[in-house]
Structure 1
Amino acid sequence: MSPSLQSRLLAGAMTLMRAREQFNPKKFTKEPSTAAQYSPPPSVEKRVTITRSTFRDWPVFTLAPETPSGKQALYLHGGAWAAEIQAGHWNLIADLVVRTSRTFVVPIFPLVPAVTHRDITPVLTDLWGAIAGEVPTALVGDSAGATMALNLLVALPEGAPAPDVTVLLSPTFDLTFANPESARIAPRDPLLKLDYIRALAASYAGPDGPDSELVSPVHARVDHLGAITVFTGTRDLLNPDAHRYADLARDAPGTQVTIEETADMVHDWMLMPIPEAKTTRAHIARLLR
């Protein structure tokens, strides 16, 4: 099926507006974000019940539906490890809350260059231990947040509760971005620039390096991770590594990786105001229900 007119126009607009520059490493400093930069917009507050708490000094938002199902999800937002959560993330999360009747827990974690993964994964592991176990809990993330979710899944200690569903939206599987297929797609990707995301990924990896098993899932263990569904678009330079990861996990015991690929979609298209996003969100909701 051909991409919609809306998606083609949006991709063209991103190119004209130089959307890749939003992840220019020079834009990001060690200055902390303010509450106004990461709080849910008023439109989201009208759809779900929102409570705010803290965990290890991180702000944590809990978005609950009118009639909770008794299930929940931990959602980790994207932004190349450097950008704060955006309105598009909040709208997606609220939509999934309403569609699935799950309660979503959304931590606001610190960002590069102020931190590395060593500051993030241990806290996420503790947060998971604090919220999961008593009720079925899904693990969901987009972009860099999807990669962090997979890092968390690999890092869970033996005996820790496992997600009942893991959904990864446009994740990065190799923080070195060395796959030549990614370089081939890069000129058609209107949102991601290899040099920029490679630099931000290296900052997130810190002294362990971007090829460390602690940050790059293609170098980490792939066994006993449960059922993982990966959504990826073919205009996303990260797309080839999604297939590479699925190949690595194909014969791994206790792991089932399903690739849901949409032709001609860009990175994180499910956050965008296009028909394909509506279709993908409905699919994600079915998985979470």
Structure 2
Amino acid sequence: MSAPWMPMRTRALDRLLRSSRDPAGVLEPRALAQARRAVRTGPPASWVTGPMAPGVTLETIAVPVRGCEQVRVVLHRPATPGPHPLLVHLHGGGFAIGSVEVFTPFCTQVAARADVLVASVDYRMAPEHVAPTAAHDAIDVTGWLVEHAGELGARADRLGVTGDSAGGNLATVVAQHLRDEGCAGLRHQALVYPSPDLTDREVEELDRHFPVLTPALMRVFRGAYLGDGQDERDPLVSPAHGRLDGLPPTLVQTAENDPLRPDGEAYAQALRAAGVEVRLTCYRGAPHGFVNLPGLTSAGYPALEELAAEVAHHLHGEDR
């Protein structure tokens, strides 16, 4: 099979990751700690991750969730006068790695460009916390944010959810829950290379090499999150198997060189079949994770612009 087209900077990233990443060891304690650690947001790191948007302020709060626990949430507030529409962000990382800090540049850019309050959720992760803990955290935090929106300077009647990869799974889990609860304020969901179906199945082109996220890594993350005995068709785990009608307008962004691309495309098609308004975009030559790597891909900044424009359009509506 011929090698897929990728920009030279993406090929350089691929070579680096291929020489340094061992799927079997990604969940070892030392590797987990390194993958979850806080990251720098200024140069030279920002040459890869993109800069933080000027004027956006950050505030960290603790939100109660079921089981008498608390989850950290980072609020990214634009410089304009509020109250602002509320966008709940769930970060990616295979339900096991990543952090809200990794997504700070992205969240500040969305907050500034879409003029929304972005609440990034530090949900509990596998393997310490198996499914459906992350889904419950995402649901509980979003419910609390909606209930306390006025205190936070946000508008519960203009609500969106967004996430990438594992976070895209959690975002659409939240959207389905809010629909079931009759939340009238839910206006949009933005899913970036999401993983809405965790059932054990064959995925096309798994014999092909993929940069960043490989099929082997997918299996490791899936196993860690599901644990033992979890129903993989439970909509809390695989929202693609839940009820899809009545969901808000949806943006689905996929990457050409990503084993999750078929999942995102299939979910977008299923949403359309259920009567949901969908915008589906596939970024040519892009690897999984491109929104966090605008300096190493050609897709990061265009995808950010598209997502922020869609969020602004749906959450501001007639205000603009």
TM-score normalised per structure 2:
0.77
1:117 and 1:205 in contact (8 A); partners too: yes
The 1:18/1:39 distance shift into structure 2, 3 A limit, reads closer
> Which residue does the alignment assign to 2:286?
265
Paired with 1:114 and 1:29, the residues of 2 have a C-alpha distance of 12
Paired with 1:10 and 1:77, the residues of 2 have a C-alpha distance of 24
Paired with 1:72 and 1:169, the residues of 2 have a C-alpha distance of 18
**1:286 deviation in Å?**
0.9
Paired with 1:58 and 1:49, the residues of 2 have a C-alpha distance of 20
1:201 and 1:210 in contact (8 A); partners too: no
Of 230-239 and 219-228, more deviation after overlay is shown by: 219-228
The 1:55/1:39 distance shift into structure 2, 3 A limit, reads farther
SS where residue 265 of structure 1 aligns?
strand
Paired with 2:277 and 2:54, the residues of 1 have a C-alpha distance of 37
> Which residue does the alignment assign to 1:130?
144
Percent identity reads 20
Of 150-159 and 174-183, more deviation after overlay is shown by: 174-183
> Which residue does the alignment assign to 2:113?
99
> Which residue does the alignment assign to 1:75?
89
2:71 and 2:141 in contact (8 A); partners too: no
The 1:195/1:33 distance shift into structure 2, 3 A limit, reads closer
> Which residue does the alignment assign to 2:103?
89
SS where residue 139 of structure 2 aligns?
helix
Amino acid at match of 2:277: Q
How large is the RMSD of aligned CA atoms in angstroms?
2.8
Paired with 1:68 and 1:276, the residues of 2 have a C-alpha distance of 31
Deviation per CA, 1:116-163, whole angstroms, max 9, x where unpaired?
222222232122122236341211111111111112222334223452
> Which residue does the alignment assign to 1:52?
60
> Which residue does the alignment assign to 2:219?
198
Paired with 1:21 and 1:103, the residues of 2 have a C-alpha distance of 37
Paired with 1:106 and 1:239, the residues of 2 have a C-alpha distance of 24
2:57 and 2:78 in contact (8 A); partners too: yes
> How many residues are paired up?
280
**1:13 deviation in Å?**
1.6
1:74 and 1:139 in contact (8 A); partners too: yes
Amino acid at match of 2:268: A
Q: List gaps (5 residues or longer) in structure 1.
A: none
SS where residue 74 of structure 1 aligns?
strand
Q: List gaps (5 residues or longer) in structure 2.
A: 43-50, 65-69, 147-154, 313-320
SS where residue 234 of structure 1 aligns?
strand
Select 1:164's aligned residue among 173, 187, 197. 187
Paired with 1:85 and 1:9, the residues of 2 have a C-alpha distance of 28
Select 2:240's aligned residue among 214, 218, 229. 218
TM-score normalised per structure 1:
0.85
The 1:199/1:27 distance shift into structure 2, 3 A limit, reads closer
> Which residue does the alignment assign to 1:62?
75
> Which residue does the alignment assign to 2:308?
285
Amino acid at match of 1:97: A
2:85 and 2:156 in contact (8 A); partners too: no
> Which residue does the alignment assign to 1:155?
177
Paired with 1:82 and 1:62, the residues of 2 have a C-alpha distance of 22
SS where residue 183 of structure 2 aligns?
coil
Q: Is 1:145 aligned to 2:167, yes or no?
A: yes
Deviation per CA, 1:13-47, whole angstroms, max 9, x where unpaired?
2321135965835332579969x934784664964
Deviation per CA, 1:223-260, whole angstroms, max 9, x where unpaired?
1112111000111111112222223233214x223211
SS where residue 95 of structure 2 aligns?
coil
More helix by share: 1
